[in-house]
A and B are shown apart, each in its own frame.
Chain A
Amino acid sequence: MLEELTDVPVLNKAYQSLEEIFGDFLLGATFEKKELSVRIKKDGLLSILRYLKSTVGFNALSDIIGLDNLRLGAEGAKRFSLLYQLYAFPGFVRIRLVLDVDENEPVPSVVPVFRSANWAEREIYDMFGIRFAGHPDLRRIYMPEEYEGHPLRKDFPLEGPNDGV
């Protein structure tokens, strides 16, 4: 369980402490292309983020990225994935947390931990339709308020639903 996963000591230490404290919420980790990706369960999201921010030093949320796994076709996989890309300043290392969610499953909003997540979550709601519980102001950000449909979903056509009207 505690074998050396990465070649960066800071990241190894961070991962080890995550395993010790939050072991139940971790679903696995990979280290590819020099990036550490940790898959977690939804219930541990806020506490893991708080821990990483205050104790380990990942004090900057670079981005929250939404993925639609519709075309990837893995059996039993959830429809969407949310990636939380964190960065430590100073420290200069990155870590990625991966969370899988189903189509109508709400996700706890991380705005209490990182204020910069406010618009990032609104964008994901607009583009994918994932709802964030506890978000102070969840509404569309790019498309007009009354727009129907979530453009970045894989089953949404590029030209729009009415063939470009």
Chain B
Amino acid sequence: MPGKRTPSNSGEGLTSDGGRHPFLLTKLDHLIAWSQKNSLWPFGSGLACCAIEMIATAAARFDISRFGMELFRASPRQADLFIVAGTVTNKMAPVIRRLWEQMADPKWVVAMGNCAVSGGPFPTYSVLQGVDNVIPVDVYIAGCPPTPQGLLHGLLTLQEKIARSHPTKAIFNADARRID
């Protein structure tokens, strides 16, 4: 339930304004963050081998729908979680950037696998050494490929990160970016 008092969302010391956020808005924050993190719709950008593990995570044994993420959208306009699964090449990088820009706020990015994190085992002329060269990344999941358990751990970490965020700041203050 959103009102649960845990150290991570008590709102003190972790925010830039030193916890002077109004009380009601903190409650609203909890509610919005709770509903966001439990209903993330992934946009699976399955590029290479990690895509197969992503699909295996969505399949019957590892069942990503337990966490609310079973609805893999094909269009970036309908998704809010961009899972970059696989090697990003220099030829593909502008496409990834354009897809990310087409997603509506709030959006999060997970770099899945060593190639998306930092180029993986390919220090070559055609591979982008990490997808964070073109888009901002929230959670990095290491592994080649990460097992479905690893991917789920990364997604749960993302859920914890979202739980710590303050969506109302972005809603009521148009200049504020997503604050984690």
User: Within 8 Å CB of A160, what residues of B?
Assistant: 124-126
Check if A156 sits within 8 Å of B91, measured CB to CB.
no
Considering the complex, give the chain B residue whose CB is closest to the CB of A160: B125
B165 within 8 A of partner (CB): no
A9 within 8 A of partner (CB): no
Check if A143 sits within 8 Å of B124, measured CB to CB.
no
B123 within 8 A of partner (CB): yes
User: Contact mask A133-165 → B, CB, 8 Å, 1/0?
Assistant: 000000000111000000100001111110010
Check if B126 sits within 8 Å of A158, measured CB to CB.
no
Considering the complex, give the chain B residue whose CB is closest to the CB of A165: B90
Query: Please, how many angstroms separate the alpha-carbon atoms of A157 and B123 in the complex?
Result: 11
User: Contact mask B110-142 → A, CB, 8 Å, 1/0?
Assistant: 000000000000011110010000000000000
Query: Please, how many angstroms separate the alpha-carbon atoms of A156 and B126 in the complex?
Result: 12
Considering the complex, give the chain A residue whose CB is closest to the CB of B122: A158
User: Within 8 Å CB of B125, what residues of A?
Assistant: 151, 156-161, 164
Q: How far is the CB of B134 from chain A (nearest CB, A)?
A: 13
User: Within 8 Å CB of A159, what residues of B?
Assistant: 123-125
Check if B123 sits within 8 Å of A158, measured CB to CB.
yes
Considering the complex, give the chain B residue whose CB is closest to the CB of A161: B125
Check if A143 sits within 8 Å of B91, measured CB to CB.
yes
- Restricting to B82-101, which residues have a CB under 8 Å from any CB of A? 90-91
User: Contact mask B42-82 → A, CB, 8 Å, 1/0?
Assistant: 00000000000000000000000000000000000000000
Q: Which listed residue (B90, B91, B124, B129) contacts A158, Cβ 8 A?
A: B124
Query: Please, how many angstroms separate the alpha-carbon atoms of A144 and B90 in the complex?
Result: 9
Check if A164 sits within 8 Å of B129, measured CB to CB.
yes
Check if A151 sits within 8 Å of B123, measured CB to CB.
no
Considering the complex, give the chain A residue whose CB is closest to the CB of B125: A160
Check if A144 sits within 8 Å of B123, measured CB to CB.
no
User: Within 8 Å CB of A157, what residues of B?
Assistant: 125
Q: What are some 10 contacts across the A-B interface (CB < 8 A)? A: A142-B126, A144-B90, A144-B91, A151-B125, A158-B124, A159-B124, A160-B125, A160-B126, A161-B125, A164-B125
The 6 closest A-B pairs by CB, nearest first: A160-B125, A144-B91, A151-B125, A158-B124, A159-B125, A159-B123
